[in-house]
Amino acid sequence: MSDAPSSQRITKRPGDDPLLVVENLKTHFHIDAGVVRAVDGVSFKLDRGKTLGIVGESGSGKTVLSRSVMRLNIAENVETAGSVKYDGVELLGKSNKEMRDYWGVEMAMVFQDPMTSLNPVVKVGRQLTEHVRYHLNTSKKEARLAAIELLRSVKIPEPESRFDVYPHEMSGGMRQRVCIASALACGPKMLFADEPTTALDVTVQHQILNLLQQAQQDRFMTMIMVTHDLGVVAGRTDDIAVMYAGKIVEKAPTRTLFAQMKHPYTQALLQSIPRASNPKHTRLSAISGRPPDLINPPSGCKFSPRCPYAQDKCYEVEPELKADTTPGHEFACHFPVGTPEGDAAFEANMAAGKPQTLAAAGKLAATEDLVTGGAV
Amino acid sequence: MAGSGKAHLRPESETILRVEDLHVEFPVGGGRTVYAVSGISFDIAKGETLGLVGESGCGKSTTGRAILQLPRPTRGSVKLGGEDLMAMDGEKMRQKRTDLQMIFQDPISSLNPRRMVGEVVAEPLEVWGPHDADEQWKIVSNMLDNVGIDPDVARYKRAHEFSGGQCQRISIARALVMEPELIICDEPVSALDVSVQAQILNMLEDLKAQYGLTLVFIAHDLAVVKNISDRVAVMYLGKMCELSESDELYERPAHPYTSLLLGSTPIPDPLVNIHDVPEAEGELPSPISPPSGCRFRTRCPYADEICERVEPQMRKISDDHYVACHHPLVEAEEVAVSFD
Ligand SMILES: Nc1ncnc2c1ncn2[C@@H]1O[C@H](COP(=O)(O)OP(=O)(O)OP(=O)(O)O)[C@@H](O)[C@H]1O
Ligand SMILES: Nc1ncnc2c1ncn2[C@@H]1O[C@H](COP(=O)(O)OP(=O)(O)O)[C@@H](O)[C@H]1O
Ligand code: SF4
Ligand code: SF4
Ligand SMILES: [Mg+2]
Ligand SMILES: [Mg+2]
């Protein structure tokens, strides 16, 4: 494999429109305590053959967003609005029965915990053959051969002999390979991977991410990769969207995002990652507090109670997602990182001793990180 | 089979914990045995943090629990402040355990869901005193305060009402109330988001400075371990591969497995070419029938005939840097230079 992102090596077929167009998507859950605004007005387009990373803290709405696009979370208490167009066809409003023509065949999902998509009491080979037969209507024998080929394609050694083992007899990494094989079984055009490696060790994570990227390139798939770790998507995506409290707060081509990030939340996420290249005991830059209550989110910018740059205006006026100068770069912030206004805001907060600003600068006792950002 | 050597141990007078030739074996059905930990040795000085790193199943948790004698190791010795824990009877060990505390990966399930947070943190005091309720609350509220949890808010709430990061703070407060000599942190941040992870790592560093804590810090992410540890021990399939001062380990990894771990750690920079990094070959072998000689040889790109036959022993590479490998990478570099 080379380091070039997939899109640079595969020439886009001219005249192709985006495979996925999401507009003002809202997914709200009605519970006793109120309305959980898990996804609250998300719009993006995804071109064929591209990989989009979706990054954010726990509870920011990454999983609900991917499940909403695939129409997987159609529960009693859910209310979805907006538009999801896949290959030109509106998916919102389609019944589960209609969606069955899409699941597996057009779009498939790999989950964080492999056991959620594997049946623990059925041997892996049979799970795969049944899956293939359900969708592709082949003979038992053909399905078996197809399943063995699939296992081989996800680099499971000696697939014939692994055919008759139960999921619990495999390691976590092997199980995730089986899930990927199953997701690839019917040749989907679009693959969602929701934290596919969060439960795995670094060495296995590296293998699985390589495998996903290889599959994406070989099959010219369009991919959405969900993670809370910017390190996981840094070298493996064309674009990254950063989510906070149910909204996209910044989106850009991957290299632009890292080189010219404008949103303080993106910067905070990046700076909180420990790096092996830093000397031991390097003070980490922490994000104070925790994500907001999605039933009663703060007024103005939802990141304001934790933002090192926040000024009076931020507590009153919610910033809109708007285009930056670099093509494809959008962000929602009144005092962007790296601009004169942003620098002045940060300086002013440092001078005033604002706790979240001190924490970001690594100058706050860690016990006070919780003080901002809402009640216990 | 010989152990992995002890060249890296320091004089006993300089350390508070000394583990020698530790073996932990679990009998499993059919007369078979899991060789979870096989002859590892290490020591820790007071106020030091030792990181234990390695992939899932390599024996990190088993090593941590063996220090606490949970369960009793199969053989070897574990000495805390010169006292041999392996020789202590049950009652004596129960008392000793107040000096040794453990923090676990899953913060929510490691706290009793039926009791209020105030009581959960006071649990060790209920056994060992002080028994006076007011005195207990004084200690507990002070500790909660130290970990950034408002004691008056938390006192009558239950663990599930808190986030994962807050529960981890509460477990740390509970571990601290007995003022233990050693705290074993078993993957305390592996289940947390990067943002919460930073808060917890910073807090452990602050508490270490405040209380002079001695820590064993277990994780599979080398970047995390390196950040918090003074020294790092790299484990593979029940053996110790390399032990070094943390910065030196990153700059000059000597064991092929350490180098693989370092290469697999994601770097948040799109300009770093991830595909330059070799992938780990194959899978971790079964600890029921570990490979002969060097246990890493089935996946090691440098393995040769001697690696199959002879188990490598720990030897010194430089100050406070030891490796158990027949063909260490650092030496290999020196050889390459002399060929020019
Ligand atoms: N069925 C449901 N009913 C009510 N609230 C829900 C439901 N499913 C999700 N939520 C809420 O929606 C919000 C977003 O959840 P989501 O699972 O998408 O987060 P995430 O970004 O994927 O987080 P993580 O990193 O933890 O996976 C959370 O506040 C969650 O509690
Ligand atoms: N009680 C037990 N019975 C049998 N095998 C065990 C037991 N505890 C741990 N093991 C095995 O010992 C090895 C080391 O496990 P562990 O210490 O949990 O690894 P780590 O913490 O590094 O992931 C693994 O192969 C594990 O399956
Ligand atoms: S500077 Fe203001 S608008 Fe921008 S992220 Fe911070 S709080 Fe929000
Ligand atoms: S002893 Fe041999 S097999 Fe083991 S790590 Fe060193 S070179 Fe590799
Ligand atoms: Mg999720
Ligand atoms: Mg463990």
Cβ–Cβ gap A366/B205 under 8 Å = yes
Domain-located, residue B195? yes
Mean pLDDT confidence for A278-286 = 93
Residue B290 has pLDDT above 60, yes or no: yes
Residue A234 has pLDDT above 90, yes or no: yes
Those residues with Cβ within 8 angstroms of residue B228's Cβ, 6 or more apart along the chain or in another chain: A280, A281, B49, B51, B201, B204, B205, B215, B217
Domain-located, residue B92? no
Those residues with Cβ within 8 angstroms of residue A376's Cβ, 6 or more apart along the chain or in another chain: A370, B149, B150, B153, B154, B157, B162, B166
Mean pLDDT confidence for A45-53 = 96
A 163-182 → B contacts, CB under 8 A: 171-174
Please, are residues A163 and A109 in contact by the beta-carbon 8 Å criterion? no
Domain-located, residue B95? no
Instruction: Please list every protein residue whose CB sits less than 6 Å from any atom of ligand 3.
Output: A 263-264, 301, 303-304, 307, 309-310, 314, 319, 333-335
Bigger pLDDT: B193 vs A339: A339
Mean pLDDT confidence for A286-291 = 84
CATH number at residue B34: 3.40.50.300
- Chain A residue numbers touching B260 (CB-CB < 8 A): 203
Write down the domain spans for chain A. Answer: 46-74+194-200+214-275+289-376, 107-187
User: Where residue A10 falls among pLDDT bands split at 50, 70, 90?
Assistant: very low
The range of the structural domain enclosing residue B50 comes to 12-81+181-265+276-339
Structure ipTM: 0.88
Average pLDDT value for chain B? 90
- Alpha-carbon torsion, ordered A110, A113, A116, A119, to 10 deg: 100
Cβ–Cβ gap B203/A369 under 8 Å = yes
Minimum CA–CA partner of A58 in chain B = B193
Residue A372 has pLDDT above 50, yes or no: no
**For strand A34-46 and strand A247-253, is the pairing parallel, antiparallel, or unpaired?**
unpaired
Please check whether residue B143 touches A, CB under 8 A: no
User: Where residue A288 falls among pLDDT bands split at 50, 70, 90?
Assistant: confident
Mean pLDDT confidence for B80-85 = 94
Question: Which atom, in ligand 4's list, is nearest to the CA of B307?
Answer: 2
Q: DSSP 3-state assignment of A309?
A: coil
Decide: residue B156, CB within 10 A, 0-12 exposed, 13-18 middle, 19+ buried. Answer: exposed
Q: Which tokens in the block code for residue A326?
A: 């670099």
Residue nearest to atom 8 of ligand 2 (CA): B62
CA of B241 to the centre of ligand 4 (A): 9
Task: Give CA–CA dist A12/A28, Å, rounded.
Answer: 36
Q: What is the pLDDT of residue A9?
A: 44
Residue A217 has pLDDT above 90, yes or no: yes
CA of A285 to the centre of ligand 6 (A): 27
CA distance B22 to chain A (A): 25
- The number of the ligand nearest the C-alpha atom of B104 reads 6
Bigger pLDDT: B304 vs A152: B304
DSSP B168-201: HHHHHHHHHTT--SEEEEESTTTTS-HHHHHHHH
Q: What is the pLDDT of residues A121-176, one digit of tens each?
A: 999 999 888 888 877 778 888 889 989 998 988 888 788 888 888 998 888 888 99
Residue nearest to atom 3 of ligand 4 (CA): B297
Task: Give CA–CA dist B95/B179, Å, rounded.
Answer: 13
B273 vs A173, A235, A282: nearest CB: A235
Residue nearest to atom 29 of ligand 1 (CA): A59
Residues facing A53 on adjacent strands:
A225, A240
- Chain B residue numbers touching A365 (CB-CB < 8 A): 206
CB atoms within 10 A of CB B10: 13
Q: DSSP 3-state assignment of A155?
A: coil
**Count of domains observed in chain B:** 1
Please, are residues A320 and A332 in contact by the beta-carbon 8 Å criterion? yes
Residue B168 has pLDDT above 70, yes or no: yes
Mean pLDDT confidence for A307-319 = 97
Task: Give CA–CA dist A56/A241, Å, rounded.
Answer: 9
- The number of the ligand nearest the C-alpha atom of B58 reads 2
Strands (E) located in chain B: 17-28, 32-44, 49-53, 75-80, 83-84, 100-103, 182-186, 215-219, 231-236, 239-245, 315-318, 321-323
Cβ–Cβ gap B148/A370 under 8 Å = yes
Residue B249 has pLDDT above 90, yes or no: yes
Q: DSSP 3-state assignment of B27?
A: strand
B198 vs A174, A258, A285: nearest CB: A285
Cβ–Cβ gap A157/B282 under 8 Å = yes
User: Where residue A189 falls among pLDDT bands split at 50, 70, 90?
Assistant: very high
Task: Give CA–CA dist A133/A140, Å, rounded.
Answer: 7
Mean pLDDT confidence for A60-64 = 92
Q: What is the pLDDT of residue A369?
A: 61
Domain-located, residue B18? yes
Residue A370 has pLDDT above 60, yes or no: no
B264 vs A206, A255, A281: nearest CB: A206
CA of B213 to the centre of ligand 5 (A): 35
Residue A13 has pLDDT above 70, yes or no: no
Q: What is the pLDDT of residue A138?
A: 84
- Chain A residue numbers touching B197 (CB-CB < 8 A): 272, 274
Please check whether residue A293 touches B, CB under 8 A: no
Give the residue from A178, A203, A368 with the most B CB atoms within 10 Å of its CB, the best one to mutate. A203
Please, are residues B22 and B37 in contact by the beta-carbon 8 Å criterion? yes
Minimum CA–CA partner of A236 in chain B = B270
Q: What is the pLDDT of residue A374?
A: 38
Please check whether residue B147 touches A, CB under 8 A: yes
Average pLDDT value for chain A? 89
User: Where residue B163 falls among pLDDT bands split at 50, 70, 90?
Assistant: confident
Q: Which tokens in the block code for residue A182?
A: 């199953």
| Residue B62 CB less than 6 A away from ligand 2 | yes
Q: What is the pLDDT of residue B129?
A: 82
Please check whether residue A376 touches B, CB under 8 A: yes
User: Where residue B38 falls among pLDDT bands split at 50, 70, 90?
Assistant: very high
Q: What is the pLDDT of residue B2?
A: 37
Residue A98 has pLDDT above 80, yes or no: yes
Q: DSSP 3-state assignment of B252?
A: coil
- Chain A residue numbers touching B275 (CB-CB < 8 A): 1-3, 210
For B127, phi and psi rounded to 5 degrees?
A: -80, -45
